[in-house]
Amino acid sequence: MLRVRPFLFSGSVSSRHGTFSQDNLSHLRNNAYICGVQLKPFQDIDMLELSKEKSTIIKGIAISLMLFLHLFDYHNADGCINFFHIGGMPLASWLARACNPVAIFLLLSGYGLACKHEKKALSPLHQAERSLFLYLHYWIILAVMLAIGHVMLPSLYPGSWSTVIENLTGWHTTYNKEMWFLFPYVLVSIVSLYTFRAVDKVGLAWAVAITAVLYIAISVFINRNSTMLYDNLPLFHLLLFAQFLYPFTMGAALRRTSINLNRALPQWAVMAGIIVLVLILCVSNIHLCYMFCAPLMVILFCHLHYPQWLKKVLTELGRKSMPMWMIHTWLAYYLFHDQVYALRYPVLIFLGLLLASYLLSIPVMWAAKRIHQLATSLRN
């Protein structure tokens, strides 16, 4: 971790105000204020600290945004009972435009792995093992949902052996199309050590600038050639991998900045900032806006004060965000669409899916943990 070595005094120092002993100087150094803000002692100056608790809370927010997005984007909200419309479009559909959880998850991942890189604890082998654990959750969910799908829709599930293999690897997620994120994310995670070495070599500012240009260029290219890319999966995954580097690098950039995430800010200013960003995303409906808004959202979420009950809820959701991400569209889209939307009202639909995904994630995490422990004991 980067620290600034303090200037060490020995003996005493004289000035026009008198003589200061080392104890006096230590007291002044530890109690210095500028404009009412206490300065940290030099030896305590650190890079930005995003605690594990805050990171988990933000993951809880991100998974909630993901569920809301997939429930009410496009025309999914048209069949619900909507009390509020703007320009003929349901309010839920407007708000869904502001939901971009992928960028937030990538940013948090970049931040966390940057911390490991500083401690020399990052390696491709370790990340491959973590990715395997991620896939273990995916495989458990896939097995359960395919079994249910085979009973409900035997003509669709499981399909051919090639289809099964493509889905098992995450190469072509035809069973659950919203899992497109899995394969390129795992690639970014495994090569993260080399990504950070490249960032160290070219410099953080250049790394952010280069990956930002890549992000913009690839976003435009994918938007104009989406049909062609879905038939060319190697190119598609390569482009997604390169696109993911920007929010991932921004996570590392947040780690290396001097932004104080623990400093109290006026809550009215934090809420105003969040509302402004939401309005920008809702009105613009331009994908590229997310690249600027996601880092700001994370910073504002860090400064937001949460009621104790909400903090507990978001923490629980954050801890189970991974299996919830893999489960929720099986329920909302592929197997139980009519049952989910039978709740009719957007708030009830959202809360129902949130609760169902959370409850189903509990046995999945338990099974994955037990299998992992068994595999570890057999290996040792």
pLDDT tens digits, one per residue of 228-244: 888 899 999 999 999 99
Cis peptide before 266 (omega within 30 of 0): no
What domain count does the chain have? 2
Predicted confidence band at 380 (pLDDT cuts at 50, 70, 90)?
confident
Q: Is residue 83 part of a domain?
A: yes
Q: pTM for this one? A: 0.83
pLDDT for the residue numbered 259 = 61
Predicted confidence band at 49 (pLDDT cuts at 50, 70, 90)?
low
pLDDT for the residue numbered 262 = 60
Based on the fold, state whether residues 19 and 122 are members of the same structural domain. Answer: no
Q: Which residue has the tokens 């007291």?
A: 27
More confident residue, 17 or 90: 90
By three-state DSSP, how is residue 85 classified? Answer: strand
Domain range enclosing 17: 12-44
Q: Is residue 4 part of a domain?
A: no
pLDDT in tens, 84-126: 888 888 889 899 998 989 999 999 999 999 999 988 899 999 9
Residues 6+ positions from 30 with CB-CB distance below 8 Å: 41
Based on the fold, state whether residues 38 and 132 are members of the same structural domain. Answer: no
Based on the fold, state whether residues 91 and 58 are members of the same structural domain. Answer: yes
Q: Is residue 5 part of a domain?
A: no
Mean pLDDT, the chain, whole residue set: 85
Based on the fold, state whether residues 144 and 238 are members of the same structural domain. Answer: yes
User: Which of 354, 349, 356, 327 lies closest to 72, judged by CA?
Assistant: 349
Distance of alpha carbon 364 from alpha carbon 366, whole angstroms: 5
Based on the fold, state whether residues 151 and 269 are members of the same structural domain. Answer: yes
Over range 268-278, report the average pLDDT.
93
Based on the fold, state whether residues 20 and 76 are members of the same structural domain. Answer: no
Based on the fold, state whether residues 22 and 167 are members of the same structural domain. Answer: no
Distance of alpha carbon 324 from alpha carbon 356, whole angstroms: 9
pLDDT in tens, 148-165: 999 999 999 999 999 999
Helix (H) / strand (E) containing 222: helix 204-224
Q: How many CB atoms lie within 10 A of CB 370?
A: 10
User: Which of 72, 67, 69 lies closest to 90, judged by CA?
Assistant: 72
Residue 258 has pLDDT above 70, yes or no: no
Residue 245 has pLDDT above 50, yes or no: yes
Radius of gyration of the chain (CA): 24
Percent of the chain scored above 70 by pLDDT? 85
Based on the fold, state whether residues 255 and 200 are members of the same structural domain. Answer: yes
Residue 246 has pLDDT above 70, yes or no: yes
Based on the fold, state whether residues 241 and 269 are members of the same structural domain. Answer: yes
Please state, in angstroms and as integers, the Cα–Cα distance from residue 89 to each residue in 85, 126, 213, 264, 287, following that order. Answer: 5, 47, 33, 38, 19
Please state, in angstroms and as integers, the Cα–Cα distance from residue 134 to each residue in 63, 139, 185, 332, 362, following that order. Answer: 16, 9, 11, 22, 15
Residue 37 has pLDDT above 80, yes or no: no
Q: How many CB atoms lie within 10 A of CB 258?
A: 8
Over range 167-194, report the average pLDDT.
94
Q: Is residue 6 part of a domain?
A: no
Please state, in angstroms and as integers, the Cα–Cα distance from residue 278 to each residue in 26, 220, 254, following that order. Answer: 46, 22, 21
* β-bridge pairing 33-34 and 37-38: antiparallel
pLDDT for the residue numbered 78 = 75
Q: Is residue 2 part of a domain?
A: no
Predicted confidence band at 290 (pLDDT cuts at 50, 70, 90)?
confident
Predicted confidence band at 60 (pLDDT cuts at 50, 70, 90)?
very high
Comparing 59-73, 244-258, 299-313, the range with the smallest average pLDDT is 244-258
Predicted confidence band at 18 (pLDDT cuts at 50, 70, 90)?
very low
Q: Is residue 303 part of a domain?
A: yes
Alpha carbon 84 to chain centroid, angstroms:
30
pLDDT for the residue numbered 30 = 43
Based on the fold, state whether residues 328 and 270 are members of the same structural domain. Answer: yes
pLDDT for the residue numbered 261 = 59
Residues 6+ positions from 130 with CB-CB distance below 8 Å: 189
Residues 6+ positions from 149 with CB-CB distance below 8 Å: 156, 157, 158, 175, 334, 335
Based on the fold, state whether residues 32 and 98 are members of the same structural domain. Answer: no
More confident residue, 365 or 267: 365
Residues 6+ positions from 240 with CB-CB distance below 8 Å: 180, 184
Residue 275 has pLDDT above 50, yes or no: yes
Buried b vs exposed e over 170-202: b needs ≥16 C-beta within 10 Å? bebbebbebbbbbbbbbbbbbebbebbeebeee
Distance of alpha carbon 139 from alpha carbon 299, whole angstroms: 34
Distance of alpha carbon 300 from alpha carbon 265, whole angstroms: 9
Residue 9 has pLDDT above 80, yes or no: no
Based on the fold, state whether residues 130 and 195 are members of the same structural domain. Answer: yes
pLDDT for the residue numbered 17 = 41
